Chain A
Amino acid sequence: MSRFRARCFIHVIIPLLGLALAQEPVRLTLMVGMTPQELASFRPALEALDAAHPEFVVDLEPVPQQAFAERANVRLASGTLPDVVRMDGLVAQRLIQSGAFLELSGLPGFDAVDLDDYYPGVLAPYRTGDAIWALADTASPTMLFYDRAKFDAAGVAYPTDAWTLEDMRHAAVRLTRDAAGRTPTDAGFDPARVVQWGWNNSLTMYWQRDLVQSLGADWCADELCTTFAATEPDVVAAVQWWADLVQVDHAGLYAPFSGAQTGVPGSAFLAGVAAMGYHGFFAVGQLNAIGNIDYDVAPPLLGVDGRRRASLSLNGYAIAADTKHPREALALLTALTSPDFLAETWGRPGHAVPARRSAAPSVIDPTRPPANQDAVLIAMEAGAVFHPYTPAAFEAYALTLDLFAAMMRGDRPVAEALAEIERVLNETLADDRLP
Chain B
Amino acid sequence: MRALQSTLGYALTLLVLLPFALPLLWLLLAAFRPPAELLSAPPTFWPERLTVANFSESWQLLDFGRFLRNSALVAGATVVGTVVSSSLVGYAFAVLPARAKGVWFALLLSTVMLPNAVTLLPTFLLFSALGWVGTYLPLVVPHFFANAFYVFLFRQFFRAMPRDLFDAAELDGCNPWTAFWSVALPLARPAIVTVALFAGIGSYNQFLEPLVYLTRESTFTMPLGLAFFRGLYGTQLQYLIPLSLVALAPVAVAFFAAQRVIQRGIVTTGGRA
- Tell me if A292 and B36 are in contact (CB < 8 A): yes
Instruction: Considering the complex, give the chain B residue whose CB is closest to the CB of A68.
Output: B232
B270 CB–A CB distance under 8 Å = no
CA distance A122 to B216 in the complex (A): 30
Q: Which residue of B lies closest to A283 (CB)?
A: B233
Cβ of B98 within 8 Å of any chain A Cβ, yes or no, is no
Report whether A271 and B39 are in contact in the complex, using a CB–CB cutoff of 8 Å: yes
A197 to chain B, nearest CB (A): 11
Given known contacts A78-B124, A78-B128, A272-B41, is B36 in contact with A291 (CB within 8 Å)? Answer: yes
In Å, the complex CA distance between A80 and B231 comes to: 24
Is B39's CB under 8 angstroms from A36's CB?
Answer: no
Segment touching A, from B13-21, B148-156, B221-229: B221-229
Asked whether A66 and B211 contact (CB < 8 A) given A264-B42, A291-B36, the answer is: no
Judging by beta carbons under 8 Å apart, are A264 and B217 in contact? no
- Nearest residue in B to A37 (C-beta to C-beta)? B61
Contact among A64, A88, A140 for B227, CB-based, below 8 A: A64
Also in contact, A36 and B215, with CB within 8 A (given A64-B227, A282-B233): no
Q: How far is the CB of A79 from chain B (nearest CB, A)?
A: 8
Q: Does B234 contact A (CB under 8 A)?
A: yes
- Bound-state CA distance A270–B35 (Å) is 11
From 203 to 258 in chain B, residues with beta carbon under 8 angstroms from any chain A beta carbon are 207-208, 211-212, 215-217, 224, 227-234, 236, 239
Q: Are B39 and A35 in contact (CB under 8 A)?
A: no
A313 at the A/B interface (Cβ < 8 Å)? Answer: yes
- Give the distance in Å from the alpha carbon of A71 to the alpha carbon of B224 in the complex: 12
Chain A residues lying within 8 Å of B42, measured Cβ to Cβ, are: 262-264
CB of B120 closer than 8 Å to a CB of A: yes
Would you call A74 and B212 a contact (CB within 8 A)?
yes
Give Cα A282–Cα B236 distance, bound, in whole angstroms: 13
A64:B211 contact, CB within 8 angstroms: yes
Partner pick for B211 among A65, A70, A289, A290, CB 8 A cutoff = A70
Contact B41 A271 (CB under 8 A): yes
What residues of A have a CB within 8 angstroms of the CB of B228 in the complex?
34-36, 39, 62, 64-65
A61–B230 alpha-carbon span in the complex (Å): 17
Distance in Å from the Cβ of A262 to the closest Cβ of chain B?
5
Q: How far is the CA of A66 from the CA of B35 in the complex (A)?
A: 21
CB contacts (< 8 Å) of B231 on chain A: these are: 35, 65-66
Specify which chain B residues have a CB less than 8 angstroms from the CB of A280 in the assembled complex. 233
Contact of B232 (CB < 8 Å), options: A40, A262, A313 = A313
Contact A290-B35, Cβ < 8 Å, known A74-B124, A80-B128: yes
B43 proximal to A (CB < 8 A): yes
Which bucket holds chain A's interface residue count?
35 or more
User: Residues of A contacting B217 with CB < 8 Å?
Assistant: 60-62
> Are A73 and B36 in contact, CB atoms less than 8 angstroms apart?
no
How far is A133 from B42 in the complex, measured between Cα atoms in Å?
A: 46
Q: Which of A275-300 contact B (CB under 8 A)?
A: 280, 282-283, 286, 289-292
Q: Does the CB pair A67–B211 fall under 8 Å? A: yes
Chain B residues with CB below 8 A from A80, complex form: 128, 133
Q: Is B24 among interface residues, defined by CB-CB distance under 8 A?
A: no
Hey, which chain A residues are within 8 Å of B61, CB to CB? 36-37, 40
B20 to chain A minimum Cβ distance, whole angstroms, is 23
B121 lies within 8 A of chain A by Cβ: yes
Bound-state CA distance A207–B216 (Å) is 36
| Chain A residues with a Cβ under 8 A of chain B | 29, 33-37, 39-40, 59-67, 70-71, 73-74, 77-78, 80, 88, 140, 262-264, 266-268, 270-273, 280, 282-283, 286, 289-292, 313
List 11 additional A-B contacts (Cβ < 8 Å) besides A272-B41, A291-B36: A64-B230, A65-B232, A70-B211, A73-B121, A74-B120, A78-B124, A264-B40, A264-B41, A271-B40, A282-B234, A291-B35
Q: Can you list 27 A-B contacts (CB < 8 A)? A: A35-B236, A36-B228, A36-B239, A39-B62, A59-B215, A59-B216, A61-B215, A61-B216, A64-B227, A64-B228, A66-B230, A66-B231, A67-B211, A71-B212, A78-B125, A78-B128, A80-B128, A80-B133, A262-B41, A262-B42, A263-B42, A266-B234, A271-B40, A271-B41, A286-B233, A291-B35, A313-B233
